Structure 1
Amino acid sequence: LGDVPRFNRVLIETTGLADPVPIVHTLMANTELRKAYRMQAVVTLVDAVAGERTLADQDVSRRQVALADELLIAKSDLVDEQSMARLEARLVEMNPSAPVRDGRNLSVAEIIPILSADNHYPLKGKAEDIEKWLGAGAQSEQSGEHHTGHGSSIQTFTLRLEQAMRLADVILFFQELVNYDPDKLLRVKGLVAVEGKLATPAVVHCIRDKVYPLLWLDEWPGDTAQTQLVFITDGIEKHEVEKILHDVCSQ
């Protein structure tokens, strides 16, 4: 094939039936790949014409949306405003932290920065990204729309803990969590108050059964210095997670 010209980025395009998690895991877990590549973002393209029906009928499509860092809507010019509004609302319900953009209104120059974001895998510990994620989770809870409806079991909820956790308990909690039912644990991100390091919160991030190494912020974003974790799950209820946490912290 000859010499391959130097390149800055690799885009992996999958079929509409592909689960992004195995690709993310491979890029994160393979030592040789990690020397040359750094995972940046999962971008899910949603068909405006077939989107609502596909999300209602296909489980993998709901997982693609729930795991995305960015959501782009295609073919928006082929649907009316009401249909577009319903689809956008559904996507926000399923993944409140991912921006929803109309692909028709984006130029290539605007899409490149989306694909160049450096704070997704793993989180770089940027306070603004954490605040955005936590804020989206809180807004979803306040709206009372934890479940996404249409027969879907995907939901978003926030777990808060006033007291600080021992570092050993943090590690054990996430080990127990990902072993509980990894296929139903889609994504977790947030901040943890750790004993002995109360001024510098730990950033936690996991997808399915993959827990990324803890990162530390220099200070707490916003006014609330307490553990806040936002979950996107597919059938795991909040009370189940609370029980795992209670059992770990009671040991």
Structure 2
Amino acid sequence: MYFMKALRVEHIKSKRTMLNVIPLALSIIVAICILFICRTSNKDEIVSNSMHYWINISAMVVPLLVGILAGIMGEQEQEAGNYQVIRKSVYKGQNCFSKCIYLLSILAFFVLFSVVLLYIGIWCIYNPDNFTVFLFLKTAFIFLVGSIFLVPFQLWSGFYFNIGASIGFGIFGTIFVAYISSFPMIEEKIWRFIPWTWSVKTTSIFFENNNLCVQGVNLPLDLMIQLLSSALLFVGMMLWFKKWEGKTKG
């Protein structure tokens, strides 16, 4: 199957770049920073405090992380004969899909690995009561759902423009999340219309209640809309990629 071959090629190409190193290093840094910030927390507060910081820090880190990684992937193809490999391929759609899935897998690695490292750190240092990894993993999964849209969007910006634009959009997302989060009343009214806030809002609501069924909020519907929107963005990216003929250097 061509898709699996294309996915394997993406994996091989990533070994020579920072695509695997950056999320690994960032996961460790995020977990260590949160443990340091929460060093004065007591045993009863450490779980809620640490996850609160993880959700907010990750929501600001992920847009920039995906922007950098998507930019690197776009630059790889430009350096390979100015997109000649893709331009001459008869499987452009599958090439695009393989890139999206590979970038999504890197994003999932960062989200899951950072939260697992945080869990291990808390367990080793504090060993709080009624402390299971399942709550952390469920929270990480919901966070990931709200972040999926970044993958096709950032890849498109990396290929249509360049690595600078992809990183620029990532910086914008990071700054925007930090800015809008400082105005809770405004954020509460508009967050559903701003994809960059999906992950932080849905994840915060779920973690605070440890339940998808929250009074006044339809989290399952919100998550479904986020998944559907991301899927439509994936389809749009693939359709655009099929007709894309590359761009001139400069």
Common fold: TM-score over 0.5 = no
**Larger RCO, structures 1/2 (Cα 8 Å, 6+ apart):** 2
Q: Which has the higher helix share?
A: 2
**TM-score class, shorter:** under 0.3
Q: Which has the higher strand share?
A: 1
